Amino acid sequence: MAFNGFSGGIVLRVAGLATTLVGLALVAVLTRWYATMAIFSALALAQALLLARHAGRVGREVGRFLDAVAYDDTTISFAGLARNTGFSELGAAMTRVMEQLRRSRAEREEQAQYLQTLVAHVPAALISVDEKGGVHLLNLAARRLFATACARVEDFSHHGPAFAAGLEGLKPGEGRILQMERPGGVLQLKATATDVVLKGVRQRLISLQNIESELSAKELMAWQTVIRVMAHEVMNSLTPITSLAATAKDNVADALKQIGQHDPARPGLDDAAEALETLTRRSEGLLHFVQNHRRLTRRLSAQAEIVPVRRTFARLHRLLADELRARDIDISFTVEPETLELAADADLLDQALINLLRNAIEALRDTADARIALTAVSHLGGRVAITIADNGPGISADEREKVFVPFYTTKRHGSGVGLTLVRQIAAVHGASVSIFDTPGGGASVRIIFN
């Protein structure tokens, strides 16, 4: 049924060609009509060509169809073939296949677009490196992380030789903690790798995840545990010692009142009274020290709200204006954009910034033309960076990590708690704290809220 029209066309064309050839033979044998013979010959040739064209149409259409499939060309139409009575079913079948190919291609393009969007916006930095050291992929997070173009693996050395060597030596399925050097400080990154083959080319896909805040939080938890245990043990022993020292001091004082000035026992009791006074004062001081620093063991919780940064800076300026004026320190404030807002606990944010500003004020004690710059800038991805920079003596590279250790201080009368508390406040906000040199001299502390 499908090829009745096609078969009929073949039969009719063959019959016509046979008739023409018979006529040509009769004219050639019986007459000398050369013009008629030429006409019959031309007619026979035309009929032969039409027969060949009609017979080869199926092959041509099938070939066109296979080429379209091979080259994924879904724009070709077989509607004309489907309308032909001799090839209607073949044309309809080819049309259905082409429509299915169009739908499949559209689905593939949508899937590819989805995967591209997913890779571009995944929070982890993704890098693709080929066997020759060429970098083929840097997603949005990676571009933000590196901040500069990376076309070759050699470009990773801009962030430290150890970082570049760590990435180059990373094996598939392996995970490493790498330190990445940046102008704003050192970042702790977790790097993992896997191998993929694309178009016959092996590529290594590397993911980099910033774990600075997670490491800071774990470090703080460890310090809190140590301080809690130490404070508990010290308090258990120190409280009765303080009480006994006070009681003994009072008893010696009573004994001194009851004996004369020239009693032979008086010099010894005077020495004992002085020693007990010193012991009482030092034990009470140590008790106050332990009680004061037990606040580091408290678990902070942030009650996030929308905080206008410009208003926060103005509030801090009013609070510290007299102290800054007395020390002859010039302070500047920069907020970009002016309407910048931050999701944070306003009270904890104030406490962290006050600690950092007081540290800067203390660092500028012996600095002429003392200046402090407080800036807040919005970065790509919604991150907000708040930086406190001074032009004081700065902090050496060896001390930058130590200053976050509880009770470690570089100040004359510091307690070693301020920066530890700042890091603790940053940790409950999922933020990170870093210290780096101020251009031109001094130290800068930056808190980055993700």
Query: For the chain, what percent of residues have pLDDT higher than 70?
Result: 80
Q: Is residue 168 part of a domain?
A: yes
For residue 179, give its domain range. Answer: 122-210
Task: Give the CA count within 13 Å in the CB-facing half-sphere of 37.
Answer: 10
Q: Are residues 168 and 275 in the same domain?
A: no
Same domain, 443 and 332: yes
Last residue of a domain, one of 48, 78, 112: 112
Q: What are the residues facing 194 on neighbouring strands?
A: 205
Is 319 in the same domain as 430? Answer: yes
Residue 117 in domain: no
Q: What's residue 96's pLDDT?
A: 84
Highest mean pLDDT among 82-86, 172-176, 222-226, 292-296: 172-176
Residues 445 and 316 in one domain: yes
* Angle, in degrees to the nearest 10, between helices 418-428 and 346-363: 150
Quickly state the pLDDT bin for 2 (edges 50, 70, 90): very low
CATH number where 445 lies: 3.30.565.10
pLDDT of 1: 44
Any domain includes 388: yes
Task: With cut-offs at 50, 70 and 90, classify the pLDDT of residue 414.
Answer: low
For the chain, give percent helix, strand, coil, nearest 5: 55, 20, 25
In whole angstroms, give the CA distance from residue 303 to residue 298. Answer: 16
Residue 129, domain CATH: 3.30.450.20
Same domain flag for 258 and 189: no
Return the half-sphere exposure (C-beta side, CA atoms, 13 A cut-off) of residue 102: 10
Looking at the structure, tell me whether residues 379 and 352 fall in a common domain.
yes
Q: Which of 257, 287, 317 is the last residue of a domain?
A: 287
Is residue 299 a part of any domain in this protein? no
Strand 371-378 relative to strand 330-336, pairing: parallel
Number of domains in the chain: 4
100 and 136 belong to one structural domain: no
pLDDT by residue (tens digit) across 128-166?
888 888 888 888 888 878 877 788 888 888 888 888 888
Distance CA 350, CA 317 (A): 11
Q: Looking at the domain assignment, is residue 127 inside a domain?
A: yes
- Tens of pLDDT along 218-260? 665 666 666 666 665 566 666 777 777 788 888 888 887 878 7
Q: What is the pLDDT of residues 175-218, one digit of tens each?
A: 888 888 876 667 778 888 888 887 778 888 888 887 666 656 66
CA angle 409, 372, 438 (to 5 degrees): 75
Please identify, among 67, 86, 112, the residue that sits at the C-terminal boundary of a domain: 112
Half-sphere exposure at residue 139, Cβ-oriented, CA atoms within 13 angstroms: 21
Task: For 360-409, write each residue's pLDDT tens digit.
Answer: 998 898 888 899 999 999 876 678 999 999 999 888 877 776 776 655 56
Residue 46 φ/ψ, nearest 5 degrees: -65, -45
If asked whether residues 335 and 444 sit together in one domain, one would say yes
Contact 127, 142 (CB under 8 A): yes
Does 175 share its domain with 269? no
pLDDT digits (tens, 9 = 90+) for 315-340: 899 889 889 999 999 999 999 999 99
Taking the whole predicted model, whether its pTM rises above 0.85 is answered as no
For residue 292, is it within any domain?
no
